[in-house]
Amino acid sequence: MIKITNLEKTYRTEDVETTVLHELNLQVQEGEFVAVMGPSGCGKSTLLNILGLLDDPDAGSFVFDGKETVGYSERRRAELRKHAIGFVFQSFNLIDELTVYENVELPLVYTGVPAAERKQRVKEVLDKMRIMHRRNHYPQQLSGGQQQRVAVARAVVNRPRLILADEPTGNLDSSNGNEVMDLLSELNEQGTTIVMVTHSEHDARYSHRIVRMLDGQTVAENILT
């Protein structure tokens, strides 16, 4: 599903140049659950941003579903993103002015799903995340675990084939964290491919494969079963 070859990414400010990714290679199969680990600054998040088409590599190739995405216009990337990719963030990133229901509905609004169908699909996913009873609350009125469940609901409501999770349990206590990891596993079992960046060995064990990164390159892989 994902094939990355010789990826390069450098950030430049006026006088400092920082190479974040260097000759990075990675493949992810359809239905896989991959955890990316490594110390701070090793390039995990940049990798995730490129996978999510939020950022552009400087060089190298990123083939998604057999199609080269490097050089895609902003418009095509947004198209691909909204149909195929869901995101889960460490800090949840819910819109404060929208209710739980509206936050989850948002991706459907942008993909132009008709209102009636939207209603049904949001209800479905909220039920599944066991957060339906909170649908009219605003994010500030929820606990961290609940907020992350809403974020996961939002990530999956469009039925994406790939979920990118950036330290999804980083802001949660262990019981809430486990709950979220269970949810992701469940989604993976139902066929969704997941790439997760994490610092937590515990969370990484939920995955099929751990990719370890250092200084912008993959240095090791552990296959878990």
CB-wise, 29 or 157, nearer to other proteins?
Answer: 157
Rounded to a whole number of angstroms, the minimum distance from the CB of residue 6 to other proteins is: 21
CB-wise, 144 or 178, nearer to other proteins?
Answer: 144
Backbone angles phi, psi at 179, to 5 degrees: -60, -45
Helix axes 174-189, 144-156, angle to 10 degrees: 10
Angstrom distance (rounded) from CA 147 to CA 141: 9
Which tokens go with 62?
Answer: 């990123």
CB-wise, 144 or 209, nearer to other proteins?
Answer: 144
CB-wise, 63 or 106, nearer to other proteins?
Answer: 106
CB-wise, 10 or 49, nearer to other proteins?
Answer: 49
Angstrom distance (rounded) from CA 120 to CA 159: 13
Residues that bind other proteins (CB under 8 A): 45, 49, 52, 54-55, 74-75, 78-79, 81-83, 87, 89, 91, 93-98, 102, 105-107, 109-111, 154, 158
Rounded to a whole number of angstroms, the minimum distance from the CB of residue 23 to other proteins is: 21
Which tokens go with 179?
Answer: 């709950």
Angstrom distance (rounded) from CA 5 to CA 24: 6
CB-wise, 98 or 132, nearer to other proteins?
Answer: 98
